[in-house]
Structure 1
């Protein structure tokens, strides 16, 4: 029988978002994000409508204002958005434009399209932005009237107001405030507006884009962008006066299909480029939208330039014997190119319009660029020679750098091979030093237990055979003759911080060569284990103190007791923890055992208590402890015999319970 408290899922469970909720509750679907990116894209949706008007020859100035209350205004001087009664649809146009998704002037109306090449294709912009606003005001001048509309949180307030207008001005002015109930952030920075308007000026030649930024009561900073020759002027600006070649500008129109069963459409292609040995920049635009992620034009450009320049190099005998061909990276490094394409049908990857995937656009642009480049190289032999030489310089520099990188990698790999030959050292698989952990353990039995317990992906093991030298008492001659110490230093990989003739065969210390993110000392929780731990810390303190100071060194805590009650086990890492656990088990039957040494633990138990990052306990050897630790090391293990006797006399009684006295 079904649980009566569970939520049912039946015919009444399906619901649809209606009206403004289609945008307000799912802004990411329309704008790509409910954060600042989405809020910025909502601005572009309104701006794109003004751009479409200007590109069709209706108005040559677009003004965008950023007010200090975080509201935004876009004004154009086009024909004015139709808002009056629509006999065909039996609705007011303002309802279609501002309250209906997938409605607008971009779909055609039986007597020819209103916009041949439109940036806004989906009929979402005005409506979606209005729905996503705290309030939205529209003022429209057309047909001798001034129309005004006011919306709040997607709902119209007061209907359409219409009044005679004697002025000659036509166009639309929209002002709105993005809603914080829809977007997580509406603080659009000035830089966004400046970047967008400059880009639009580049690809809409002759149109003035004016930005007004409110900086006080009735005070505005005004910036204007205008490129009379569009992308050609922009490429000149990017390349500066010291370019290798002068900017070229090519343009054509083609007709075709993305697939045999798809309708034919028209595409207008324009490209401007030059070569430079100081600047590289590539930008693609489609129907005025900056294609941040490229898509079809990016693929076309790469294919055409690599093919054409490689062909020229072969024909001119520029390649050396057995030399590999150029790659796109060699061309990209010295190319400044801007493409500005328009098509009557566009397949954007999504509503945010950051990439297109039209197959015909890619094919047409590839073919056009290849043929133009072949003619360009013939007609401009001097420039062609400079381009070829620069691309070959880039290629050979890249190959030399790659060869040097591989040599260094091989050298470093050689060091890794040396560490792999260290007796009984067990490496891990990953080469990512941000993840690698080295467990330093005592003896072969612990090595076996840890090896079975570890995660071999990122945990390596270095066994210490017996007790190592006391590096505070031993001189460097003895230290650097110790196989145990030398093996451990090789495995660490970072060299030693010692200026001594006996260290001449050791690498100078370089933290960048450290092969581990954590160095974990893992010994038994007994007197011998504590002494080995202390000796290892002493060695690290004397030979590589930076590892302690930078926090790379850890101590793995081993539990002292295993407490079992029924089928549950607790681990106590101190007598106090043991007391706390047994107090909770009062009245129950439980068993306490002194925890086994590392070599005797079962793999599952070892993983749980010592190896698993989620459950283990690590003590970080902190930098502030270094001096105090050194003083204690020196007292307990150094040459000051009398000081050690005095310390034992003063404090020995505190540790009688731990003394092994039979």
Structure 2
């Protein structure tokens, strides 16, 4: 058997992919993915070429059309791709551009010829996108002639067509439809085009991008006359801690002594802001999602410069730890727009660069310029220092809280981690287990005697719990009632602040109950306790409400006795309906508090799945729910007064006013 296998593996077994198959059968190698991400990257490759032309001074507008059938058109007003015969290569240029993976006019860019700072350096884009297309039509206006090419699934059909077009402006128009045989998804959303074109407008000052979406019929125009300066002003709004500061420079260097020297130029704009933090890096117009060299330079230089200022002005407390970049980033808005004649991308998708010289040059430049900035802008330097220290101390407090909360909320409910007065149920079947959160010890006694101990557990609330919309997290998690409740629920918490993302330990699969049932008295105090419980759940574990795990147990308002029969009414209208159907002498009594009820009544009215009434708590309108919680229990005192003045009369019968 072994010798048979060996005989099948011969010199002729080694094959190579040729032509379009180099891309069509392995799109992930070129585009980073055979899914939607890869399809989007193919669009960017074509767009890059038009941007390079405009940046060299040829054309100031690029038009893009997103068609209903998922095809795309990109048109520029540059010089037009050279497509005629190339005697040097002994081939037509259109064959090199559209059918050769490593061909193009950008390989000598370090000499300044054709493209000094190019976004599409690698010579893969146009050809790779053509190979990955169901069809591609290229129309090139150059030297007073219209040149046309048509491709289908990587193959040229009909050769190069020419006709006169003396008055038509030069430029290149490429229309194509990504091939479903290559990509698993070609339905590129409108949002991708909007995002990428806005980013390109930011880093190519004065260049206009016009996008037409055939599907919606809408047109979008993106242009920033002053590039990143205008963008920083747009991002920061009017709440800046400091003014926008702009810097630019040019230099030369090499990544290694034996490597060629190359040019680097970059501009940056930054400011500090209490509400917003943004870091964006662009290199040769490509958005660097992961940054790489510029990101490392910014982190190094800003920490160095601000730490030096804090030490020099004795602003650290005794034995206080040094700041980290997180403390700076929390209040920093910064954009770097850089260009180099030699670029080392981490991979073909251009999301990070690795040039050693770029990192070193930017680090040195920022260190020097920040030191000058702090000397020349004393008031702003003081503001930055105070804000960074505030961020640092907030982060450190959050870290202490994180450690404390994890200790409190993790672990099983055993003898070493018990919750006072919690009464568990017997079953381990999560789909049957119910937890009743009841008001007070007396209600605990009544519910404990009236429940089905097989699947119903109980935990009492001792008095009114903290208003979780008004309190900060430290105060919330110092409250034993709240931490006991969270411990019993078992699913962790959902935290939504920038310093406590690692507190976000929520895991729905760890929830120990199928139903969480709030059970309080049918009076003003009971309603307030219920509202505070809902507020706690809304702020700390909102997913439980979205997943329909939270219920309210309705308590009857009236007990009506007619002979040997007893009826329970949950509203005045229901009381009237019951009385209308009864004959003879009846006795009506207002329902007592839960703790005063007999176990049999508790079972029948509140705990028996066959007869009880549960109200499901649902976020039908999450925004409205949030607004109402914050209006009634938050810091908006003026809004609350206005609401009470306008709506309060409806609830007078529920008050204790005599």
User: Fold conserved (TM > 0.5)?
Assistant: yes
Give 1:306's match in structure 2, choosing from 284, 303, 307.
303
Residues in 2 aligned to 1:508 and 1:353: alpha-carbon distance in whole angstroms: 47
Equivalent positions of 1:267-306 (< 5 A) are 267-306=264-303
Residues in 1 aligned to 2:220 and 2:483: alpha-carbon distance in whole angstroms: 57
User: Is residue 2:351 matched to residue 1:354?
Assistant: yes
User: Is residue 2:166 matched to residue 1:138?
Assistant: no
Partner residue in 1 for 2:314 = 317
Partner residue in 2 for 1:104 = 104
Q: Is the 8 A contact 2:409 2:483 kept in 1?
A: no
Q: Is the 8 A contact 2:76 2:172 kept in 1?
A: yes
Equivalent positions of 1:59-70 (< 5 A) are 59-70=59-70
Supply the RMSD in Å over aligned alpha carbons: 3.6
Residues in 2 aligned to 1:80 and 1:506: alpha-carbon distance in whole angstroms: 72
Residues in 2 aligned to 1:385 and 1:509: alpha-carbon distance in whole angstroms: 43
User: Is residue 2:472 matched to residue 1:510?
Assistant: no
Deviation at 1:48, TM superposition (A): 0.1
Do the aligned partners of residues 512 and 185 (structure 1) sit closer, same or farther apart at CA in structure 2, a change above 3 Å counting? farther
Residues 224-250 of structure 1 show CA distances to partners (whole Å, capped at 9, x for unaligned) of 111111111101100001211111111
Equivalent positions of 1:81-160 (< 5 A) are 81-108=81-108, 112-160=112-160
Residues in 1 aligned to 2:186 and 2:243: alpha-carbon distance in whole angstroms: 42
Do the aligned partners of residues 512 and 160 (structure 1) sit closer, same or farther apart at CA in structure 2, a change above 3 Å counting? farther
Equivalent positions of 1:29-44 (< 5 A) are 29-44=29-44
Deviation at 1:7, TM superposition (A): 8.9
Deviation at 1:495, TM superposition (A): 8.4
Do the aligned partners of residues 162 and 500 (structure 1) sit closer, same or farther apart at CA in structure 2, a change above 3 Å counting? closer
Q: Is the 8 A contact 2:248 2:266 kept in 1?
A: yes
1:497 aligned counterpart, secondary structure: strand
User: Is residue 2:314 matched to residue 1:339?
Assistant: no
Residues in 2 aligned to 1:243 and 1:227: alpha-carbon distance in whole angstroms: 20
Deviation at 1:166, TM superposition (A): 1.5
Q: Is the 8 A contact 1:496 1:507 kept in 2?
A: no
User: Is residue 2:231 matched to residue 1:230?
Assistant: no
Do the aligned partners of residues 294 and 513 (structure 1) sit closer, same or farther apart at CA in structure 2, a change above 3 Å counting? farther
Residues 385-409 of structure 1 show CA distances to partners (whole Å, capped at 9, x for unaligned) of 1111111111111112222222333
Deviation at 1:498, TM superposition (A): 5.0
User: Is residue 2:48 matched to residue 1:48?
Assistant: yes
Deviation at 1:420, TM superposition (A): 7.6
Residues in 1 aligned to 2:231 and 2:177: alpha-carbon distance in whole angstroms: 33
Deviation at 1:550, TM superposition (A): 5.0
Residues 317-340 of structure 1 show CA distances to partners (whole Å, capped at 9, x for unaligned) of 111111111111111110000000
Do the aligned partners of residues 371 and 509 (structure 1) sit closer, same or farther apart at CA in structure 2, a change above 3 Å counting? closer
Partner residue in 1 for 2:514 = 549
Equivalent positions of 1:346-385 (< 5 A) are 346-385=343-382
Q: Is the 8 A contact 1:495 1:508 kept in 2?
A: no
Residues in 2 aligned to 1:495 and 1:256: alpha-carbon distance in whole angstroms: 71
Q: How many residues align?
A: 467
Residues 440-486 of structure 1 show CA distances to partners (whole Å, capped at 9, x for unaligned) of 8xxxxxxxxxxxxxxxxxxxxxxxxxxxxxxxxxx969x99xxxx9x
Equivalent positions of 1:240-639 (< 5 A) are 240-412=237-409, 419=416, 496-497=458-459, 510=485, 513-514=488-489, 547=512, 549=514
Residues in 2 aligned to 1:176 and 1:408: alpha-carbon distance in whole angstroms: 55
Deviation at 1:374, TM superposition (A): 0.3
Residues in 2 aligned to 1:508 and 1:126: alpha-carbon distance in whole angstroms: 59
Residues 607-645 of structure 1 show CA distances to partners (whole Å, capped at 9, x for unaligned) of xxxxxxxxxxxxxxxx9xxxxxxxxxxxxxx99xxxxxx
Residues in 1 aligned to 2:376 and 2:78: alpha-carbon distance in whole angstroms: 43
Q: Is the 8 A contact 1:86 1:93 kept in 2?
A: yes
Deviation at 1:410, TM superposition (A): 3.9
Gaps of 5+ in 2: 420-425, 429-443, 464-479, 493-510, 517-549, 551-598, 601-658
Do the aligned partners of residues 439 and 105 (structure 1) sit closer, same or farther apart at CA in structure 2, a change above 3 Å counting? farther
Do the aligned partners of residues 98 and 229 (structure 1) sit closer, same or farther apart at CA in structure 2, a change above 3 Å counting? same
Partner residue in 1 for 2:11 = 11
Residues 578-619 of structure 1 show CA distances to partners (whole Å, capped at 9, x for unaligned) of xxxxxxxxxxxxxxxxxxxxxxxxxxxxxxxxxxxxxxxxxx
Residues 135-192 of structure 1 show CA distances to partners (whole Å, capped at 9, x for unaligned) of 1001101111110000000000000011222115001000001111111111111100
Partner residue in 2 for 1:202 = 202
Deviation at 1:411, TM superposition (A): 4.0
Partner residue in 2 for 1:607 = none
Do the aligned partners of residues 18 and 550 (structure 1) sit closer, same or farther apart at CA in structure 2, a change above 3 Å counting? farther
Residues in 2 aligned to 1:215 and 1:304: alpha-carbon distance in whole angstroms: 47
Residues in 2 aligned to 1:325 and 1:514: alpha-carbon distance in whole angstroms: 39
Q: Is the 8 A contact 1:107 1:113 kept in 2?
A: no
Residues in 1 aligned to 2:334 and 2:354: alpha-carbon distance in whole angstroms: 20
Do the aligned partners of residues 380 and 420 (structure 1) sit closer, same or farther apart at CA in structure 2, a change above 3 Å counting? closer
1:402 aligned counterpart, secondary structure: helix
Do the aligned partners of residues 114 and 439 (structure 1) sit closer, same or farther apart at CA in structure 2, a change above 3 Å counting? farther
Do the aligned partners of residues 512 and 371 (structure 1) sit closer, same or farther apart at CA in structure 2, a change above 3 Å counting? same
Which 10-residue stretch deviates more, 302-311 or 252-261?
A: 252-261
Q: Is the 8 A contact 1:495 1:506 kept in 2?
A: no
Which entry has the higher C-alpha Rg, 1 or 2?
1
Partner residue in 2 for 1:178 = 178
2:120 aligned counterpart, secondary structure: coil
Q: Is the 8 A contact 1:202 1:234 kept in 2?
A: yes
Residues in 2 aligned to 1:19 and 1:413: alpha-carbon distance in whole angstroms: 58
Residues in 1 aligned to 2:481 and 2:81: alpha-carbon distance in whole angstroms: 78
Do the aligned partners of residues 417 and 114 (structure 1) sit closer, same or farther apart at CA in structure 2, a change above 3 Å counting? farther
Which 10-residue stretch deviates more, 151-160 or 316-325?
A: 316-325
Deviation at 1:499, TM superposition (A): 7.3
Partner residue in 1 for 2:547 = none
1:391 aligned counterpart, secondary structure: helix
Deviation at 1:11, TM superposition (A): 1.5
Partner residue in 2 for 1:167 = 167
Residues in 2 aligned to 1:378 and 1:273: alpha-carbon distance in whole angstroms: 17
TM-score, scaled to structure 1 = 0.65
Deviation at 1:222, TM superposition (A): 1.5
Do the aligned partners of residues 439 and 106 (structure 1) sit closer, same or farther apart at CA in structure 2, a change above 3 Å counting? farther
Do the aligned partners of residues 390 and 102 (structure 1) sit closer, same or farther apart at CA in structure 2, a change above 3 Å counting? same
Q: Is the 8 A contact 1:495 1:510 kept in 2?
A: no
Residues in 2 aligned to 1:205 and 1:281: alpha-carbon distance in whole angstroms: 20
